[in-house]
C-alpha cells in the first residue's frame, strides 16, 4: 500500500513575515526530489495575482509552480501533477469551484496514489471530511459541504484562544467548535497560526510554533504540543 | 397594502448586561398592544433551556412567550401567532431546522400580512435574502442558503471593527464582507453590538448605541449613525 503524504498548514502568513516564509523549509523538505507543484488558487477572486505570489515564493525554493486555472483540462492537469498545493482564501468559494470543475475525485485519487499534497488555511479545510469547521463567511453555496476527505478528522485553521478581556459577545472559536460537536461526531484539531501537520502514512506530526487544541465529542479540550502523539486521529 | 413591521437586533447580550436587557424597551414599544410571542429556539441545541431564558425575560415585559418546538403543528402555530421572535445561536442550525419544518413560506406570509417580527443575531441573519453574511460556523448543511427575505439587504450582526494591534492573520470582518461583495450584489449592513434596525413599511431606523457600517459593491464602506437615512436599502 502506498503511503499518503499530506502537509496541512494553519496559515500562509504569520504576523510580520512574508508569504509562506514560516513554513518554507518544511515545504522544501516535504517535497524532497519533487520540483513541480500544481497550484489551486480558487479560494481567492484574483487568480492571476495569486498565482504570481505563490509562484515567486516557490521559485525561491527552486520549485516550479503552475496554476490550474490556466490549464485547458484541469482534471488532466491533476492526473499529471507531481504534487498539489491548495492555497488559502474563502473555503466556500474554493470548494464550490472544486465541484464545478469536478476535481474532488481526481485530487483524492492522486493523493491516495502517493503524490504530496499541501494545503494552507482554506486548503487545509478542504482536505478534511467536510468544510464544517471553516472560519469563513459562506459567500457562495457549494453543492455540498463534503470535501476531499484526505484525513479522517476536521481541522480548524487560524485557531485562536479566547481573549478574557474581550467585550465582544460573538461566539468564541471554542464555542463554535463545541457547537460543531453538538451536531457532528468527528474530532476537530484547532491549529494555531504558525502550526502545521505533516501526515505520512499512519504517522501524523504537529510541527511549527503555535501548538494545537484538540476537541473531541463529550470530552474536555486537550492542549497538544509538537511531542503529542496524534496518530490515533488517523484511525 | 399592509406595512411590514420588523425589528432586527445585532445581539441579545451586551457585555455586562442580561439577556435582551439593552433592547427590552424597544421590544416592548415595538410590540405595542400585542402581548404574546411565538419563539423560534432552533439556533441553540437545548431548546427547553432557551425557551425558559426567553420566556422569563419577556414575562418581565408582561409578554407571554411560547416556543414553537413544543407545538404539535409548527406551521399552524405560525399562522396563529400574533408576533414572532427568532433567537440567536448558530445560523446554519437555525435555517436547516426552518427548512425541515417547512416554515419559511408561512413565516414570510405572516410578516407580509403585518404581524411584528423580531430577530436577534442568527434570527436577524435569517430575515435577510440569504445567510451568506453570517459569522457562524457551518456546522450543519441547510438545503439552501436562501432565507426569509423579509428585507432586501444583508445584515452582518455582531459587526466588529478591525483591531490595528492584532497579530492574528485570519480575515477581518471587513475583508470577509468584501469577499461577499466580490461574489454577490446585495448590500450589507454591519450592525455593531448594541445596535438594531426597526423597519416599518418603507421606513428603516438604525437605533441603539453601536452604529453600523454599510458595505456596497464597488463603493467605499460608509459609517452610519442613528440619524443616517437608510430607507434606500428597502428599495
A23 touches B: beta carbon within 8 Å: no
Report residue B122's pLDDT band, with 50, 70 and 90 as the boundaries.
very high
Tell me, what's the pLDDT at B235?
87
Q: In which band, very low, low, confident or very high, does the pLDDT at B22 lie, cut at 50, 70 and 90?
A: very high
In the numeric block, which cell numbers belong to residue B3? 406595512
The 10s digit of each residue's pLDDT in A36-63 is: 999 999 999 999 999 999 999 999 999 9
Question: Minimal Cα–Cα distance from B77 to chain A, Å?
Answer: 26
- What gap in Å lies between CA B195 and CA B225, rounded to an integer? 10
Quote the pLDDT of residue A16: 83
Distance CA B177, CA B214 (A): 10
Going by C-alpha positions, the residue among B99, B93, B89, B94 that lies closest to residue B143 is B99
Contact B58, B65 (CB under 8 A): yes
Give the structural domain span for A48: 5-234
Low-confidence ranges of chain A (pLDDT < 50): none
Measure CB to CB from residue B141 to each of A93, A144, A170 and give the nearest one. Answer: A144
Residue B18's pLDDT is 92
Strand pairing class (A5-9; A117-120)? parallel
CA distance B161 to B211: 11
Q: Are A39 and A65 in contact (CB under 8 A)?
A: yes
pLDDT at B152: 98
pLDDT of residue A55: 98
pLDDT of residue A165: 86
What is the pLDDT, as a whole number, of residue A223? Answer: 98
Distant-in-sequence, close-in-space partners of A125: CB < 8 Å, separation ≥ 6: A91, A94, A119, A131, A133, A134, A136, A147, A155, A157
Q: How confident is the model over B138-163, as a mean pLDDT?
A: 97
- Residue B105 is predicted with a pLDDT of 98
Q: Is B5 a residue whose pLDDT tops 80?
A: yes
Q: Round to whole Å and give the CA distance between A9 and A20.
A: 9
* Strand-pair category, B212-215 with B222-224: antiparallel
> What pLDDT sits at residue A168?
85
Q: Which residues of B are catalytic?
A: 121, 136, 158
Once rounded to an integer, what is the mean pLDDT over residues B82-102? 98
CB-nearest to A135 from B11, B145, B170 is B170
ipTM higher than threshold 0.85: yes
Count: domains in chain B: 1
Q: At what angle do helices A91-100 and A104-112 cross, to 10 degrees?
A: 90
Q: For residue B123, what pLDDT band results from cuts at 50, 70 and 90?
A: very high
Residue of B nearest to A172 (CA): B136
B209: pLDDT strictly greater than 80 = yes
Q: In terms of pLDDT, which residue wins out, A155 or B164?
A: A155
Sign of torsion over alpha carbons B158, B163, B166, B172: positive
Report CB contact under 8 Å: A168, B138: no
How is B103-172 classified by DSSP, letter by letter? -HHHHHHHHHTT--EEEETHHHHTTSSBSTT--S---S--S-SB---SSSSEEEEEE----TT----SPP
- Interchain CB distance below 8 Å, A177 and B137: yes
pLDDT of residue A185: 98
pLDDT at B74: 98
| pLDDT surpassing 90 at residue B167 | no
pLDDT digits (tens, 9 = 90+) for B210-225: 999 999 999 999 999 9
CA distance A86 to A93: 13
Q: Which residues of B touch A45 (CB under 8 A)?
A: 179, 182-183
CATH of the domain at A76: 3.40.50.880
Within an 8 Å CB–CB cutoff, is residue B161 touching chain A?
no
In whole angstroms, what is the distance from residue A74 CA to residue A83 CA? 14
CB pairs under 8 A between A and B: 105
Provide, rounded to the nearest whole percent, the portion of chain B with pLDDT above 90. Answer: 92
Q: Do A169 and B15 touch (CB under 8 A)?
A: yes
Amino acid at each position: 500500500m502506498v503511503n499518503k503524504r499530506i502537509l496541512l498548514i494553519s496559515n500562509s502568513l504569520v504576523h510580520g513575515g512574508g508569504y509562506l516564509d514560516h513554513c518554507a523549509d518544511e515545504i522544501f523538505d516535504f517535497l524532497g526530489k519533487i520540483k513541480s507543484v500544481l497550484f489551486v488558487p480558487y479560494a481567492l477572486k484574483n487568480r492571476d495575482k495569486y498565482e504570481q505570489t505563490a509562484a515567486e515564493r516557490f521559485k525561491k525554493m527552486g520549485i516550479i509552480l503552475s496554476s490550474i486555472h490556466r490549464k485547458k483540462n484541469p482534471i488532466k492537469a491533476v492526473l499529471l501533477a507531481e504534487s498539489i498545493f491548495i492555497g488559502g482564501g474563502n473555503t466556500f468559494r474554493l470548494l464550490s469551484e472544486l465541484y464545478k470543475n469536478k476535481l474532488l475525485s481526481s485530487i483524492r485519487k492522486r493523493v491516495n496514489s502517493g503524490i504530496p499534497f499541501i494545503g494552507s488555511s482554506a486548503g487545509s479545510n478542504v482536505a478534511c471530511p467536510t468544510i464544517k469547521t471553516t472560519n469563513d463567511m459562506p459567500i457562495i453555496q457549494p453543492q455540498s459541504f463534503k470535501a476531499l476527505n484526505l484525513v479522517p478528522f476536521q481541522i480548524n485553521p487560524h485557531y485562536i484562544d479566547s481573549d478574557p478581556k474581550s467585550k465582544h459577545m460573538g461566539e468564541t472559536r471554542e464555542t463554535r467548535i463545541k457547537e460543531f460537536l453538538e451536531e457532528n461526531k468527528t474530532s476537530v484539531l484547532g491549529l494555531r497560526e504558525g502550526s502545521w501537520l505533516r501526515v505520512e502514512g499512519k504517522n501524523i506530526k504537529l510541527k511549527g510554533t503555535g501548538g494545537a487544541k484538540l476537541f473531541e465529542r463529550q470530552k474536555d479540550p486537550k492542549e497538544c504540543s509538537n511531542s503529542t502523539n496524534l496518530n490515533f486521529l488517523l484511525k
